[in-house]
Amino acid sequence: MATVTLTSRKPTGSLRTVRDGLVIAWRNLVNLRRTPGAVVAALVQPLMFVLLLAYVFGGSLGGPEYRTFLMGGIFAQAVTFNASFTAIGLAADMDKGMVDRFRALPMPRGSVILGRALSDLAMSAVTLTVTSLCGLLVGWRVEGSVPAGVAAYGLVLFFAFAMSWVGATIGLMARSVEVAQSAGLIWLFPVTFVSSAFVSVTSMPGPLRVIAEWNPVSATATAARSLLGNQAPKGVVTPSSWPVQHATSYALLCTCAVIAVFMPLAVRRYRRIAHG
């Protein structure tokens, strides 16, 4: 009689990385109960920008029309700022010795960083939800089709995932919560404000205008507005440069480029730390 031998197939390297990354992501989300302040900060910060920019500056920049235009920029800015929480979270894990414990487990090196990026992606989704509700209160509406609206949120979340790898690289290089907190915020303000997230770039000086037009935050904000059907107010002039006219394609290209650059950098830095 022939015998059949059953062998269990082990997951491949990529599948193991994703599987263990999901476990780490769940661990990070559960641990948010111990740090409610981080959740409050992630939710309150974009709400403050919505209310301040909509009512403090909105009157001089277009009133109700500007509030509609503003939301695409707030979405892009909010998920970019969430990269600082990735940096701080990884630095805190190293400071508390959690990374040393993860090193002792039979898991791929990239799972720890992937788990942090996925948990922060979930936080970005919550942030976008709360920010959208606040936008509805100030008069913003989705004026495009439902598929286009879903695509807009998907694009912003994809950009959030990319920004998490930037934050992960900074957090792993900082290796302390204090340094990560400072380094994780220094680059965020020029990246988000030297852009078309809140104003037209046409009023900026020549070199600054070029930087703002090619800024991935500008592309993500402009693409989100286009997909959501939110038109710019009359006082906001739309440039005719290539990244503005092809904002969706350029935003996707930039997001993929950021992941392609910073994912290997973060994993390589983590491996160096793991090897002492």
pLDDT digits (tens, 9 = 90+) for 57-90: 766 666 778 888 889 999 999 999 989 888 988 8
Dist. CA 65–CA 67, nearest whole Å: 5
Judge whether 10 lies within some domain.
no
Judge whether 2 lies within some domain.
no
Residue 6 pLDDT > 60: no
In this prediction, what percent of the chain has a pLDDT beyond 70? 91
Confidence band for 7, pLDDT divided at 50, 70 and 90: very low
For residue 6, give every residue at least 6 positions away whose Cβ sits within 8 Å of its Cβ, in sequence order, or none: none
Residue 115 contacts residue 24 (beta carbons within 8 Å): yes
- pLDDT value of position 2: 39
Judge whether 13 lies within some domain.
no
For the entire predicted model, the pTM comes to 0.89
3-class DSSP string for the chain:
CCCCCCCCCCCCHHHHHHHHHHHHHHHHHHHHHHCHHHHHHHHHHHHHHHHHHHHHHHHHHCCHHHHHHHHHHHHHHHHHHCHHHHHHHHHHHHHCCHHHHHHCCCCCCHHHHHHHHHHHHHHHHHHHHHHHHHHHHCCCCCCCCHHHHHHHHHHHHHHHHHHHHHHHHHHHHHCCHHHHHHHHHHCHHHHHHCCCCCCCHHHCCHHHHHHHHCCHHHHHHHHHHHHHCCCCCCCCCCCCCHHHHCHHHHHHHHHHHHHHHHHHHHHHHHHHHHCC
Residue 261 pLDDT > 90: yes
Confidence band for 4, pLDDT divided at 50, 70 and 90: very low
**Structurally, how many domains does the chain consist of?**
1
- pLDDT value of position 106: 79
Calculate the alpha carbon distances from 95 to 31, 86, 127, 254 in Å. 16, 14, 27, 32
Q: Which residues constitute the domain of residue 143?
A: 18-27+34-274
Judge whether 8 lies within some domain.
no
Judge whether 134 lies within some domain.
yes
Judge whether 7 lies within some domain.
no
Residues 83-126: pLDDT tens digits?
Answer: 988 898 888 888 888 777 887 777 887 888 999 999 999 999 99
- pLDDT value of position 13: 67
- pLDDT value of position 262: 96
Query: In whole numbers, what is the pLDDT of the chain averaged over residues?
Result: 86
Dist. CA 247–CA 225, nearest whole Å: 10
Residue 194 contacts residue 211 (beta carbons within 8 Å): yes
Residues 18-33: pLDDT tens digits?
Answer: 999 999 999 988 888 7
Residues 224-260: pLDDT tens digits?
Answer: 999 999 988 776 777 888 999 999 999 999 999 999 9
Judge whether 97 lies within some domain.
yes
Confidence band for 40, pLDDT divided at 50, 70 and 90: confident
Judge whether 4 lies within some domain.
no
Instruction: List the structure tokens of 12.
Output: 């491949």
Residue 119 contacts residue 29 (beta carbons within 8 Å): yes
Task: Count other C-beta atoms under 10 Å from residue 206's C-beta.
Answer: 7
Residue 48 pLDDT > 50: yes
In this prediction, what percent of the chain has a pLDDT beyond 90? 43
Q: Identify the weakest region by mean pLDDT among 18-27, 44-53, 160-169.
A: 44-53
Report the amino acid identity of residue 8: S
